[in-house]
A and B are shown apart, each in its own frame.
Chain A
Amino acid sequence: MDMKNILKPLEPILSKSLDRVESFIHTHPKVDFLFGAIFGAFDGLLRSTKETTRTQPFIRNNYDVKRFMGAVLVALVIGWVLPALYFFGWQCVVSRLLVSFIIGVFVVDVLWAIIAREDHISEGGFVTCLLIPAILPPQSPLWLVGLGAALAILFRNVLGGVGNNLVNPALFSRLFLTICFPSLLVTGYQMPFVGMPDLHSFRYGLDAVTHATPLTAFKTNGEVVSYFSLLVGSSGGSLGETCRLALILSGLWLIKIRVVNWRIPVSYLGSVLIFSVFLSLIMGKAVAPPLFQILSGGLILGAFYMATDPITTTYNQAAKLIYGAGCGFITVLIRDFTGLPEGVMYSILLMNLLAIPIQSLMVKIRYRT
């Protein structure tokens, strides 16, 4: 309500200027070629579309994919950017975000829009570029972040853009980096900053030493970090996965506004819990304890933000439960029975591929076709 009144006097002026820019761009093919795409995306965030309904029903709900993605962006900022600013320092977080966005959105995505002659870039790229720094080690080199963002956006666009992704582009890009630069992805984990922020904490991280993540520590010497530090984020890990509390709260908000379907995080986390309890009962201390499994690694980030990536899941809601449960099962298998400390990335990518067969199977069962 208040927001509306503040913006009211500005509206006609803003709208007129946007119209002027729009007609300028459209009458100058060269400008259109270079900036049309960026303008389109920017304009689309501020204004509605011109199109009107042609078929029944003649009214439509005031909610579109842009606002859908906008909500994910807001949740990600609350879920990992804000906590990371505190735990890993401004310099570390801001530089990575800038690199990821500049390379991902402003270079690769815009170039692609120009080459493929699309009229604007899609806001799905923003989400991907916001995820890339979150799933890399806090001290990974900046070029690695840039390369990750470039690969993710490129990969998404090659496969046909938002609405056509086979697998989560951010995770796929990370898989690629893991294969090409294995050593860079096991180092660069530092202990988060704790205490009162001061001038030094602003630059925190630049001189920090590498430290094993809780999952690696468990793999090597069976050490279990305190659950409290896992929850609030004062233990090591990728830049965006450590503050589980914020991730859970913002994830719950996304569930409440129905951007995230509760079935996926619930079945994912639920199956991790069930399988790890089961394994703990049989194998005892040889496997990680259930609660530690839930709270460590990228599981919370993955369950709320990556496994739920709209198009890579299934449409059928019962199939969504199976999909989530499959993610959980594979995660526990990899963590407990392979040499790898973490399995979230592999499990989500694998289930992304299985989503299509699961979907058609469930549809077959439901409609007996």
Chain B
Amino acid sequence: MLKEKENIGFKGGFNLLDTYPLRFCNIIERISSDGIPEVFEFRVPAQKIQHVIVNLCPTEPWALPNWVILEHKTAAFLNKLKEIKTRYFPEASYSIAINKKEDEPNAAVKNYAGDAEWMKVFAVDAKYPQDDPVILLKVVLGIETNFGQDTTTQGVLILDAQTVTAIYENCMLGNKVDSRFIALSGTGLKENEIINVQLGTSLEKILRNRIKESGKYRVFVNGPLHGREITDLSQKMEWSINNIVVLEELDQKVMFPMFKSDELVLTTNMLGELRRCVYCNFCDDICPVGLEPALYYHSYKRGEKHKASLYNLEKCIECGLCSFICPSKLELLHIIKECKAL
């Protein structure tokens, strides 16, 4: 069954894919771990699952693109999903969220959906953070959920493409799954590539010979917007790591920054001076959940951190867009986290 409401989606957000497109080399190298690799395990949630959402809509340019799993195999992929459905969650409803601009998988999924009554297809705008659980649940199912809450407690299971194939391999075919695809990109690397890496491999081994020799760099997993920084490269590869971004640590002044957005945005430079809030409304226009982040900053600056919670603070999904866009370079997300921690 096909579902294509034109107005599906949410207000705010930012189309990262179109603004800062990244290209990956399509030769996939395999990296094996030195020790005994860890294996993927699928734990069936304790709660009864009523809805399964398959997220085929990565919204960050540095995230693992769909083609790695789906290229020319979309129908086979959906057949696997069907088998998983029969085995584990036969009564659940199935929703596929797919980027409406990706022609090939889009056509394949819709074609398949024509005679598959058990699934619904949602062609969505791939603006960031459409694939965040809170937004996904709201846009696809119309269910409200809180940031940080495990969605399975509400009977919703969210799967990405790679997890679907891993469940199939592991639980249906009984094969051991001990590696996964990840995307490597960033201004600190020689080239952007996709690799297939065994779980348990150290990040140091993954990045060896891939980082540019000159200059300083910093390493982030799961993206520079809401991911975390890795300072200790002996950390091991886990299933939850979707991508590694290595950014150039640009700690010097650059001439004429106004003409160089494309090269500068993917570095760690602040690209501006810290100023006071100028009421420009960039932060509330971009906020995907309709908050007014500057209010938290104002409370914080007046020394009234506790007042921040009056302004729907708990709704914030920590996507980082407000800090990203703020022309005064205010650390809005940092302030939000501090206020939340009270």
Contact = CB atoms under 8 A, between A and B. Distances in A.
B88 interface: no
B273 A52 contact: no
| Tier of interface size on chain B | 35 or more
A185 to B, nearest CB: 30
Nearest to A4: B259
B254 A47 contact: yes
B323 A62 contact: no
B253 interface: yes
A316 B292 contact: yes
Interface in A4-54: 4, 7, 11, 14-15, 18-19, 43-44, 46-53
Contacts of B321: 57
Contact of B251 (A50, A58, A317): A50
A163 B330 CA distance: 13
Contact of B324 (A44, A59, A313): A59
Query: For chain B, what secondary structure do more than half of its interface residues adopt (helix, strand, loop), or is it mixed?
Result: loop
A65 interface: yes
Q: How large is the interface on A (under 10, 10 to 19, 20 to 34, 35 or more residues)?
A: 35 or more
B328 A65 contact: yes
B271 A61 contact: yes
B32 interface: no
Contact of B329 (A43, A60, A163): A60
Most buried by A among B228, B255, B282, B325: B255
B256 A315 contact: no
Interface in B287-342: 292, 294-295, 298, 310-312, 318, 320-321, 323-329, 331, 333-334
A310 interface: yes
Contacts of A163: 275-278, 328
B271 A60 contact: yes
Nearest to B266: A59
Interface stretch (B4-12, B21-29, B109-117, B218-226): B218-226
B251 to A, nearest CB: 5
A47 B257 contact: yes
Contact of B323 (A18, A57, A311): A57
A202 interface: no
A256 interface: no
B284 interface: yes
Given A15-B255, A58-B224, A311-B279, A52 B250 contact: yes
B247 interface: yes
Nearest to A59: B224
Contact of B226 (A11, A43, A57, A261): A57
Contact of B269 (A48, A162, A310): A48
A23 to B, nearest CB: 12
B278 A317 contact: no
Contacts of A55: 323, 331, 333-334
Contacts of A46: 255-256
Interface string B249-271: 11111111111110011111111
A64 interface: yes
A164 interface: yes
A68 B271 CA distance: 13
Nearest to A7: B256
Contacts of B312: 367
A293 interface: no
Contact of A52 (B251, B257, B265, B318): B251
Given A57-B226, A163-B278, A65 B255 contact: no
A162 to B, nearest CB: 7
B272 A66 contact: yes
Given A44-B273, A261-B281, A52 B249 contact: yes
A61 B265 contact: yes
Contacts of B334: 55-56
A51 B228 CA distance: 19
A59 B267 contact: yes
Contacts of B326: 61
A56 B333 contact: yes
Contact of A65 (B226, B278, B323): B278
A57 B275 contact: no
B218 A315 contact: no
Interface in B218-244: 218, 220, 224-226, 228-229
B268 to A, nearest CB: 4
A315 B226 contact: no
A362 to B, nearest CB: 10
B280 interface: yes
Interface in B193-229: 218, 220, 224-226, 228-229
A57 B324 contact: yes
Contact of A60 (B255, B270, B294): B270
A87 to B, nearest CB: 32
Interface in A53-84: 53, 55-68
Given A4-B259, A56-B323, A315-B295, A65 B275 contact: yes
A52 B277 contact: no
A51 B329 CA distance: 11
Most buried by B among A51, A163, A261, A311: A51
Contacts of A259: 280
Given A58-B247, A315-B294, A64 B254 contact: no
A267 to B, nearest CB: 14
Contact of A47 (B255, B259, B265): B255
9 contacts: A7-B259, A19-B253, A53-B270, A55-B331, A55-B334, A63-B325, A162-B278, A315-B294, A369-B310
Interface of B: 218, 220, 224-226, 228-229, 247, 249-261, 264-282, 284, 292, 294-295, 298, 310-312, 318, 320-321, 323-329, 331, 333-334
Given A51-B251, A56-B333, A66-B272, 17 more contacts: A3-B259, A47-B253, A47-B256, A53-B269, A56-B320, A56-B323, A58-B218, A62-B261, A63-B271, A65-B275, A65-B278, A163-B276, A163-B277, A261-B280, A311-B276, A311-B277, A315-B295
> Sorted from nearest, which 9 A-B pairs have the closest CB atoms?
A64-B272, A163-B276, A57-B320, A48-B257, A310-B278, A58-B224, A47-B253, A55-B334, A52-B268
